[in-house]
Chains A and B, each alone.
Chain A
Amino acid sequence: MTATRDTFGRPVVVVTGMGIVTSLGAGKDDNWARLVAGRSGIRTISRFPTDGLRTTMAGTVDFLKVEPFSSTDLSEKLADLAAEEAIAQAGIGAKGDFPGPLFLAVAPVEVEWPQREELARAVTRGAEITYDSLLEATAKGDYPHYHRRFLFGSVADALAETFGTKGSPISLSTACASGATAIQLGVEAIRRGETDAALCVGTDGSVNPEALIRFSLLSALSTQNDPPEAAVRPFAKNRDGFVMAEGAGALVLESLDAATARGAKILGVVTGCGELADSFHRTRSSPDGKPIIGCIRNALDDAGLAPEQIDYINAHGTGTPENDKMEYLGVSTVFGDHTTKIPVSSNKSMVGHTLSAAGAVEAVFSLLTLEHQRIPPTINYDVPDPAIPFDVVPNVARDARVTTVMSNSFGFGGQNATLILTGEPA
């Protein structure tokens, strides 16, 4: 008889459905096959002209067509696909009637250039384009669809309608930790007994010119454009930045009680969540690593586990010089002598950095790692960085006994979140 409460007396939270879309493809099967084969989804951008850009590649999802393009439309399509796959696997509720709330990690929404240009074309010919003339054109025109589309809550609103989630859907951002935070919110709601199930989704379709240029101006992106598949080099000495990417990950979370009662197959357990904010700088981690260290310790404490019980770390591993160094400092401080004995790999070496979706995408990959007992590699690892002596599972996937995975997510604005996942209820 499996205990349905954890060591702290809280309901055990399990995963009963997973869905994923990345630049490697749609669905768990294709993604996993390509991930463990060490395939890269990074390609030269074809969605828009890249003239004058320092970075010309990204992990775009080009197999979903969005015309005219908007990142918010693509984010919605990605989330739709991932959530549909997760709910179908869970076999929960009825079509369009998911029995719990939605927690959605989504990029901040805004009017984009194609729409702004459309408005400019509506301004009286010859008149100067200012926000006053744009506002006049807006008032005279008929654009209610842009109001619906560019509200911050618009993607969650559409998902809530499609899947029939209950209550007020939450759209959230903790920058590049958002996907992990969505899962954490679901875990907390189930532990409080507010609900038996939650749909947690992270999505991001942000590869548009302005978003790319914003990260480029912050010198955050890799410029190793050729060949694009070799651009992301987490933990390697010649790493030079992250690569923007698109995708979505979705999890159906349930209390173990509820999942067992309806005979659902249990795919994994979310045993712990940790977070801690960093007050050092808007884009850089505190040099002493304390917030990352504290975040990891909070997750271990929440799971009631010792560091030695973690046997794989799904790293944040963006491939920026700063992140990878700080992640090593944080992990090695907590894990001590154990650090080099734990495999640590970065999915981003292949799928790129899916930003708001990353925590959810990587949670799905972590659960697939547990299911298949095979650790995906860190590709493009040809020049080790002696300052980061992780076992990065270089270039080739590895069979291993994996019972407990830690997945890290860190983001601009001092965001740190860590999840701990296991394969089966204890």
Chain B
Amino acid sequence: MAESRSPQPAPVEAWITGIGLATSLGEGPEAHWQALQAGTINVDETTFKPYVVHPLAPVSFDAQIPKKGDQRQMEAWQRIGTYAAGLALASAGIKGNADILARTDMIVAAGGGERDLTVDSGILNTEMQGNAAPGFLNERLMSDLRPTLFLAQLSNLLAGNIAIVHGVTGSSRTFMGEEAAGFDAARVALARIASGQSDIALIGAAHNGERKDLLMLYEFGHFALKAPFRPVWARGADSNSGFALGSGGVFLVVESKEHAEARGAKPFARLSAVVADHARRKSGGEVTATLERLWNRLGAGKAAAIITGATGAEPATAEEKAFLAAHAGTPVRATATRFGHLVEAQFPLGLALAALSLSRGELFAPNDPTGVEVASLTAPSQIVVVGTGHWRGEGMALVEAVR
């Protein structure tokens, strides 16, 4: 990036004041903390056999999406996200606060496109039997697609549903692009707050990993993990590399310190910096070098810990391991072992767990037989969140304790 030459006013400090979490480990910060400390992993090796997924723990959508009509207008990924967004707003103490919500900026990282599998396979069966007249596809789609399915597939309609259900209307932007969408959402939201372009933002993402159409997309590249489940650091570069898709929604409320203090909100942590890059990955070592550059730009100190969204996809994860090896002594935790891969939501998940850890004054327990993760007894004052996209995108954030 071109460096700025114009003298800028001192950046505004940004706090994470709300966390909304609904994943395979349950919902809410407390349940997540207990599950992490207990080493719980919720993995399903049979429903999508041979593929491994981390299914969403049961939640009562009614609690955050009271109108059944709204729920019916959404596919699972939108329901999960709208639910988690409601939890984040409640956590920040702004749920139902029309005045603040009307000027809350929203950046959602989204995929989309949940298919109607029955419609697809019905059409393909007829086509493959050679019975399809010209225009057959049109006729079947016209009669079989639910008119509102499109709205449940559109990427920006997670944000749209959050606006409708929770009244967040300051602005609404949806970033796409897998893992990178997650760190760019945080990066742009922070840049806007730091420069005074925005006071408060809702950022996050949702992912439904229990989808055969999505498994297909990643299996095209042979990235979908097949049973048996193994922790991400134990997957290695052999035939059992790759990621298990996970389900979950993660949202954060980020606001300027001044805005938070004026309304008496307490911070979980400070979001100090988010940086990202896009290595071409044409030759070995580019990812490692990019992560090292991002680390240097963050300026983390020796007391830092790392929470990474390392996917298990190769060669990206091997390159990330090389980066981590250069920082041996810094405690590491991988979200993919515990939650699976939430793609767009993986980086927001890292931010949420970093903020949670810092607010509790300890890093959660290691869960790794290979020795990459070791117990840490010192209270972290800084946590670096790392996101290495399975195919493209490198991102990093510095989250710090507010003392």
Contacts and interface: CB of A to CB of B under 8 A. Distances in A.
B229 interface: no
B186 to A, nearest CB: 11
Given A100-B2, A173-B174, A277-B171, A52 B142 contact: yes
A188 B197 contact: yes
B216 A51 contact: no
B181 interface: yes
Contact of B218 (A100, A132, A147): A147
Contacts of A100: 1-2
A117 B127 contact: yes
Interface stretch (A20-28, A193-201, A224-232, A367-375): A193-201
B147 to A, nearest CB: 4
Contact of B175 (A110, A172, A196): A172
A131 B120 contact: yes
A415 B156 contact: yes
B4 interface: yes
A193 B1 CA distance: 11
A185 B184 CA distance: 12
A276 B177 contact: no
A261 to B, nearest CB: 11
Contacts of B164: 279-282, 414
B174 A174 contact: yes
A166 B163 contact: no
B121 A130 contact: yes
Interface string A191-234: 11111110000000000011001111110000000000000000
B192 interface: yes
Contact of A196 (B2, B115, B167, B276): B2
A172 B112 CA distance: 13
B128 interface: yes
B76 to A, nearest CB: 15
A390 B393 CA distance: 47
A315 B247 CA distance: 41
Interface in A137-176: 138-139, 143-148, 150-153, 156-157, 160-161, 166-175
Contact of A131 (B174, B183, B216): B216
Interface in B172-193: 172-178, 180-181, 183-184, 187-188, 191-192
Interface string A381-421: 00000000000000000000000000000011111000000
B1 A167 contact: yes
B169 A108 contact: no
A200 to B, nearest CB: 14
Contacts of A378: none
B395 A174 contact: no
Contacts of A277: 106, 159, 163, 168-172
Contact of A147 (B183, B221, B393): B221
A169 B282 CA distance: 17
Contacts of A146: 217, 220
A194 B1 contact: yes
B216 A129 contact: no
A52 B149 CA distance: 20
User: Which 10 residue pairs across A and B have the least CB separation, nearest first?
Assistant: A51-B135, A413-B160, A153-B177, A147-B221, A193-B4, A147-B220, A131-B212, A168-B276, A277-B172, A152-B176
6 contacts: A131-B213, A168-B187, A214-B149, A214-B150, A282-B151, A413-B160
Given A160-B278, A218-B150, 9 more contacts: A108-B155, A130-B117, A134-B216, A144-B220, A152-B155, A192-B197, A193-B5, A277-B172, A412-B160
